[in-house]
Amino acid sequence: MSRHATGAGRPPSRSAAVPHWSRLIRDVPDFPRPGIVFKDITPVLADAAAFAGAIDASAGAWRAAPPDAVAGIEARGFILGAALARELGCGFVPVRKPGKLPGTTLFEEYALEYGRDRLELHADALPAGARVLVVDDVLATGGTLRAAVALLRRQGARVCGAQVLVELSMLRGRDRWDDPAPLHAALAL
């Protein structure tokens, strides 16, 4: 039996109703390679009311105990994470693809549903013990989120949770989330 992100004995956190902004998410078949259906959130970002609704839905679980910082995963996690950090009144830290950060970095390699990749973080991005919320756009198989959490913890942060805009339930990424930090999705498809 899998452990759910919200802790033992509690159901996974997913939005109960379909939010108004979700109608703008479009499917792009065969991207980035054949057989993959890409969930394109750029129409949500382009619509001011939809973007505000998506950020508000994402902030809901974190308002009572805001983190010290939000760590956004490149690239769409930057957009969502920066807006969420502003909404929650905290700082923002980018988690980047290889070779994008100057200075000393830490890295974590991970598997994607269609290959392998690597994330990097400045070695001094956060003070030791900082409470950090990890943000990404989509939860698919969960490899990217797990890698970001491992990287942040190695850097000395305390990961207080993870937030995604969209969870692709059929890929069962939540079932692979074996972390005690809560995982929230603004929308489960």
Active site residues: 76, 113
The DSSP 8-state label assigned to residue 185 in this structure reads E
Q: How many whole angstroms separate alpha carbon 136 and alpha carbon 130?
A: 19
Packing angle between helix 76-88 and helix 48-59, nearest 10 degrees?
70
Kind plus residue range of the DSSP H or E element containing 163: strand 158-167
At 81, which amino acid appears? Answer: G
Q: How many whole angstroms separate alpha carbon 109 and alpha carbon 151?
A: 9
Q: How many Å from the N-terminal Cα to the C-terminal Cα in the chain?
A: 22
**Residue 95's beta-bridge partner residues?**
73
Q: What is the 3-state secondary structure (H, E, C) of 43-82?
A: HHHHCHHHHHHHHHHHHHHHCCCCCCEEEEECCHHHHHHH
